[in-house]
Amino acid sequence: MSELHPLLRENVRLLGTLLGENVKEQHGDDLFELVEKVRRAAKLDRDVAAGDASPELVSLLSNLKDEELVPLSRAFNQFLNLSNIAEQYHGVRRSDEQAIDASVLFEELFDHLDAHNVQKERLASLLESLSIEFVLTAHPTEVARRTLIMKYDAITSVLHSKDRSDLNEREQQQIDDRLNTLVCEAWHTNEIREQRPSSVDEARWGFAVVENSLWQALPEFLRDFDMALYERYQIRLPLSSRPIRFASWMGGDRDGNPNVTSTVTKEVLALSRWMAADLYLRDLASLMTHLSMWEASAELVELAEQLDSGSGRNQSEPYRIVLSSLRKRLSNTRDWAAEVARGDVSNFSQDQLLLSTSELLEPLLICYRSLHEKGIARVADGALLDVIRRVQCFGLELLKLDVRQDSERHADAINEITEFLGIGTYNDWKEEERQAFLLKELQGKRPLIAKGMTWSEETQEVFDTCAVIAGESEEAFGSYVISMASKPSDILAVILLLREQGMNRKMRIVPLFETLDDLNSASESIDRLLSVPWYADYCDGYQQVMIGYSDSAKDAGQLAAGWAQYRAQESLVKVAAKHGVKLSLFHGRGGTVGRGGGPANKAILSQPPGSVDGRFRITEQGEMIRFKFGSPSLASKSLGIYASAVIEASLLPPPEPKPQWREALDALTAVSVNSYRDVVRNEPNFVEYFRSVTPEQELGKLALGSRPARRKSGGGVETLRAIPWIFAWMQIRLMLPAWLGSDDAFEQALNNDQDALMKEMSEQWPFFRAQVDMLEMVLIKADPRIARYYEQMLVDEDLKPLGKRLRGRFRKMVKLVNQLKGQKDLLEDSPEFGESLRVRATYTNPLHYLQAELLHRSRGQSHASEAEAQRVESALKVTMAGIAAGIRNTG
C-alpha cells in the first residue's frame, strides 16, 4: 500500500489538529473525546474488508444525544473539506516542483508530436483557429457554500506561504496564527445553505470564479504556452488567437427551471457586463502606471490627438491619453450596466459607452503595435499583452450566455399561434407539415404575431426570452441549446420565434441529443436539417451539436450510453463532411463517471478520430468548477491539460476502431442496456427499494441550486434528474448508475473466450480503455459494506433480496475488471489514489453510518418534537455535504 506524501500527510495532520482545537474550544472535552472515540472506531472499521459495520462504531453513533448530532457530523465534514484543501494544494505544489524551465505538460505534448513527425507548420496552422470553450453551468452539484469556499481558498494561500524557506520565526508564527484563525472561521460558519440560491446568485458565483481565478490564470497560461512554443519551435501564439473561451448557462438555462425568466436573463447579462467593466478598469489603472513612455507611432499619436479634447493630459504621454479615454468610457459602461441590472432608466448616450469588444480591443492593439514599432517590445509583451488576451477571451460580456429550453416549449408556443390564427393544431401536424409551415413563414415578410394578442403564461415567457435575445448585442450570447431536439422543425421553430421578436441576425441554434434513441438518430436528424436549403444558407457552413451524457446514461446505463455517444459523434462528422459544414461538438459532461466525468485528457484523447479538429466545447459544473478552476494555479494547470489534449487529439487522432472491436462493443452494449433496464425499469420493487435505501427523498432539502430536482412531479426514476439520481447512489456508496449492466456484459464476453479480444481493445483502443479506467475509478470509490448497512437500517425485509443481488453484481463487476486488467486489486497502477480514499474512510465512514441512523430517525419521528426533528434534519444535511466532500463527487 502506497503511503501519502510526507508533506501532504503533514498538512492533513496540521489542519486536523487545528480543527480539533476548535471543536474542544467550542464544545468542551466531552465532545472532543466523543469525536476521537468515533474516529478510532472508524479506523478499525475501515480496515475490515467484509462483514457488518463495527459494533463499537454503530453503538457510538446510534446512542448519540440530540445535541451531539450536528457538532459531531460537522467535525467529520469539516475535516474532509480540510483534507481536500491539503490534497488540492499538494497537487499544485507537486506540479510546481516538477515544472522547471517549461511546463512538463507542454514538453510531453511536443515530444509526442515530434515522435510522430508532426511538422511545426501544422501546429501553427491549428493554433490559428484553436477554440476550447468552457461553459460554466448552474447544475446543483456544488454542496459547499461560497462563503466557505472563499475561506478554503484563503487556507490554500496560507499553506503556500508556509512553504517559503526564508521565513523568520516571527513571520512563521504570524502565518500559523492566520491559519488557525481561518480554520476557526470555517468551523464557526454554517456549512449548509438555509435557502436555495436564486438564479442571479448562481450567476454571481460564476462571475466570482472569473474574478478570483480565471482572470489571472488565463494570461498566465497563455504566456507559459507561448514561451514553450517559442523555445521548442520558434513560433508564437498569434496575437489574434482566442484558444480559450468561457461561456455560462447561469441565468440562461431555463430547461425545467421556472426560476430562470426573461427578467433574470436580462439582469444576469447586465451584471456580467458590470463585472467585466470593473475588472478592465482595474487592468487599465495598472497599465497607466506602466505605459508612461513618450515614443509612439504615428497611428497612436493621431489617435491620442483625436481623444485629447481638453483632457488636460500631458501631450508627451500619448499612451496614457488613449487609456484615459478608455477608462472614462469603461466607467460609464459599468455605471450603465448597474442601472440596467436594477431596472432603472439610463441617461447615458451610446457614444459615452463601450458597446462592442472591438471598441475596447482596437485602442489596446494600437498601443501594442506602437510599442513594438518603437523597439519597446518588452513592455508591449508584458501587462499590455495580458490585457489584450483577456479582452479577446472574455470580451465586454465577460461570459457569453447560452440559452437552453426544451423543444416542447417551443412547439407549444407555435401551437398557440396556429390555433389562434385558426390554421390548425401545430402539435398534431406531421414533420413535413411543420417544416412547410415554418419555412413559409421564415421566407415571408409579414409578421406572424400581431400586437395585442394574448398568450398563456408559459408561451409569453418564451416570447419574452426571445425578445431579450433579439434586443441584445450579438456578443452577449453564445448558443441557443434545444433539449430533446430530434427533428429539423425543432430548430426552425426557434429561429422563427426569434425572428418574430425582432431578431435580425443569425444565432447558433444547437440541438441537444440526450436519450439513447436520440443519440442513435442524431446524424439522421442533422442530415435532414442540413438538407433543408433555407437552413443550409442560414447556418453559413457551421453547425454545433450538443451530446448529452447525463440523461443518456440514466436512460441506458453508462456503457451503452458511452458507445452511443461515440457512434453519434462518428456519424455526425461524416454528415458534416457530406454537407461541407464545419462541425463543433458540445459535450454536456458532468463531474461523475455516470454523467460523463473522469480525467479530461483521457476523455478528449478517446474521442472518435476527426471529432475534435481544433474545436472543443464542454460544460463544467458544480464542484468540478471549484476542483478545476478554484484558484489561479489550479485553473492554469487545468487549461494546460485541456489544451494539450485537444491539440494532440486534433493532430494525432486515435486510429479507427477495428471491425471486430465494433462488433464486440455492439454485443457488449446490447447485453448491458437490457441488463440495466431489466433492473431500473422492469424490476417491480426497484423504485421502492431505491427510495428506501438512499436519501433520494431527503436530497430535496439540500439548498443546492435554484433548479428543482425533478422535471415533473411524481413518477419514478424517469422523472428524476440525472444529478440527484447519481447523488443518491453515491451517498450510500453503491455507485449503481456507473456500472449496472456492464457487469453482465463483461461476464458474458470474458466467459465466452473473448478475454484476449477484450484485453486487446483495452490496450489498443483509447475509447474502450477510457471506459474501463473510468469504471475502475468509480468501483474503487464504492463500498458494498456501507450500502448493506443502509439497507439494514432502512429497508423492509421483502425488499432486501434485491439489495443483496445488486451488491453481488457489484462484487462480480470488481472481479471482472481486475480479470480484464490482469491485476489483483483495483487501481494497482495508481496506489496513491487508493491510499487517499483509505485515509478518508476514517472520516467518511462515520458520516455514512450516522446518515443511515439519521434517516432511520427522520422517517420514524412522527412523535418527535419540532426541535428534535430540526436537529436530525440539520445533521442529515451536514452528512450529505460531508460524504460528497469525502468522495469528492456529488452528481
Look at residue 562 and give its three-state secondary structure.
helix
> Exposed, middle or buried: residue 449 (CB in 10 Å: 0-12, 13-18, 19+)?
middle
In 622-671, at which residue ranges do the beta strands (DSSP E only) sit?
A: none
Q: How far is CA 292 from CA 284, 312, 364, 634, in A?
A: 13, 15, 14, 34
Q: At what angle do helices 522-530 and 488-500 cross, to 10 degrees?
A: 50
Asked if residues 588 and 619 have their Cβ atoms less than 8 Å apart, the reply is yes
Asked if residues 70 and 874 have their Cβ atoms less than 8 Å apart, the reply is yes
139 noted as active-site residue: yes
Q: Which helix (H) or strand (E) holds 136?
A: strand 131-137
Q: How far is CA 816 from CA 606, 676, 826, in A?
A: 22, 17, 11
CB atoms within 10 A of CB 180: 16
Q: How far is CA 210 from CA 216, 394, 626, 824, 831, in A?
A: 8, 9, 11, 44, 34
DSSP annotation string for 147-176: HHHHHHHHHHHHHHHHT-SS--HHHHHHHH
Amino acid at 109: L
Set 151, 410, 487, 554: catalytic member? 554
Sign of CA dihedral 708, 709, 715, 718: positive
- Provide the CA 810 distance to its chain's centre, in angstroms: 28
Burial 500-527 (b: 16+ CB within 10 A, else e): bbebeeebbbbbbbbbbebbebbbebbb
Burial 636-665 (b: 16+ CB within 10 A, else e): bbbbbbbbbbbbbbbbebbeebeeebeebb
Asked if residues 218 and 283 have their Cβ atoms less than 8 Å apart, the reply is no
Spatial separation of the C-alpha atoms in residues 535 and 284, rounded to whole Å: 43
Set 27, 139, 266, 821: catalytic member? 139
554 noted as active-site residue: yes
Query: Which residues are CB-neighbours of 827 under 8 A, at least 6 positions away?
Result: 776, 777, 780, 833, 834
Query: Which residues are CB-neighbours of 603 under 8 A, at least 6 positions away?
Result: 589, 596, 770
Q: How far is CA 720 from CA 511, 699, 728, in A?
A: 22, 12, 11
Amino acid at 852: A
The number of helix segments (H) and strand segments (E) in the chain equals 39, 8
Asked if residues 623 and 591 have their Cβ atoms less than 8 Å apart, the reply is yes
Among residues 325, 466, 344, 479, the alpha carbon closest in space to that of 401 is found at 479
So which residues are the catalytic ones? Answer: 139, 554
